[in-house]
Amino acid sequence: MTLNGIEVITDFLESDCAYLKGNTSLTEYNIISHPSINVAEDYLDQGWRRFGKMFFRPSCTHCSKCIPLRVELENFKLSRSMRKALKKNQGIHLEVGTPECTPQHISLHNIYHKHQNEKKNWPHHAISATEYRMLFCEPMTFAKEFRYFSSKGQLLGVGYVDVLPSAYY
């Protein structure tokens, strides 16, 4: 399907719910060939999430418990536990840049998903560099990567943020 000159492929996937044990989830996927900042913002404002060119959202007919959360910064206040966590992690260094695919990135991803497989029975397979690039490193002008390093320079974590006019996702 073509929408305003942008190729969109839509699909649905039914699977075990990752959030509520014993439930089935239905996820709607739209793969958008070249999402502009405006298209991405429209999708994310409506509660869609994104990996690479793939936008997705829960579409369960029997449940609406996994609605995305939006935090308004002007009303946000750090809790006591958040202040403790910040103090405990003072030695962590943050770099913000364009998404990258390094052996350290792939290793962290695989370690995390292996842990979630053991803890929450998530499906798991070791991700390849190609898969990682498709999910996290598609060239999008609005995509930023937050890299967290120890004081010794070890990559500890990676977060992805879409910097858009109305909000950061």
Question: Which DSSP string corresponds to the chain?
Answer: -EETTEEEEEEEEEEE-SSSTT-EEEEEEEEESS--HHHHHHHHHTT-EEETTEEEEE--SS----PPP---GGG----HHHHHHHHHTTT-EEEEES----HHHHHHHHHHHHHHHHHH-----PPPHHHHHHHH-S--TTEEEEEEE-TTS-EEEEEEEEB-SS-B-
Average pLDDT over residues 55-62: 87
Residue 132 lies in a domain: yes
Q: Give CA–CA dist 105/83, Å, rounded.
A: 28
48 and 105 inside one domain:
no
Per-residue pLDDT tens over the stretch 38-51: 999 999 988 899 98
pLDDT at 166: 81
Residue 39 lies in a domain: yes
**Nearest 5°: phi and psi at 4?**
50, 40
pLDDT at 139: 85
Q: Considering only CA atoms, which of 145, 138, 143, 137 is closest in space to residue 96? A: 145
95 and 156 inside one domain:
yes
**Nearest 5°: phi and psi at 11?**
-150, 165
Per-residue pLDDT tens over the stretch 75-119: 899 999 999 999 999 999 999 999 999 999 999 999 999 999 898
Judge whether 137 and 99 are in contact, CB under 8 Å: yes
Residue reference for tokens 């958008």: 32
Residue 168 lies in a domain: no
Residue 126 lies in a domain: yes
100 and 155 inside one domain:
yes
Residue 51 lies in a domain: yes
Residue 53 lies in a domain: yes
52 and 94 inside one domain:
no
Domain count, the chain: 2
Q: Which domain holds residue 155?
A: 90-162
